[in-house]
């Protein structure tokens, strides 16, 4: 799985490649508008599981997993940005 982004000016750019067992699409579940920030494309055949908002609300452990995942991703993107700026 690869997360890609397109600004309209440039071809889509791959932001990150995910391995099996990754959590994807979590950011839109935690924003007021439910806006996606990137697209995810399966590079190989994949099995995906969807967790609806009602189920998500009742699962505290999922909230913790998503918070940790989002923190790791923000750290990764901050480091990548710093590398690009240097």
DSSP per residue over the chain, as a string? Answer: -EEEE--SSS--EEEEE--TT---SHHHHTSSS---SSEEE-SS--------HHHHHT-HHHHHHHHHHHHHHHHHHHHHHHHHH-
Prediction pTM value: 0.56
The one-digit pLDDT tens for each residue of the chain (86 residues) are: 888 888 777 778 888 888 888 888 777 777 777 777 788 889 899 998 888 877 777 778 777 888 888 888 889 889 988 888 87
- Please write the tens of the pLDDT for every residue from 1-14: 888 888 777 778 88
Domain count, the chain: 1
Residues of the domain holding 36: 2-85
pLDDT the model gives residue 25: 78
């Amino acid at each position: 799985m690869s997360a890609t982004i397109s600004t309209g000016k440039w071809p889509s750019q791959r932001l990150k490649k995910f391995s099996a067992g990754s959590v994807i699409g979590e950011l839109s579940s935690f924003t007021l508008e439910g806006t996606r920030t990137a697209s995810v494309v399966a590079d190989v055949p994949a099995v995906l599981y969807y967790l609806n908002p009602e189920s998500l609300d009742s699962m505290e452990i999922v909230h913790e997993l998503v918070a940790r995942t989002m923190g790791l991703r923000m750290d990764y993107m901050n480091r990548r940005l710093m590398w690009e700026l240097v």
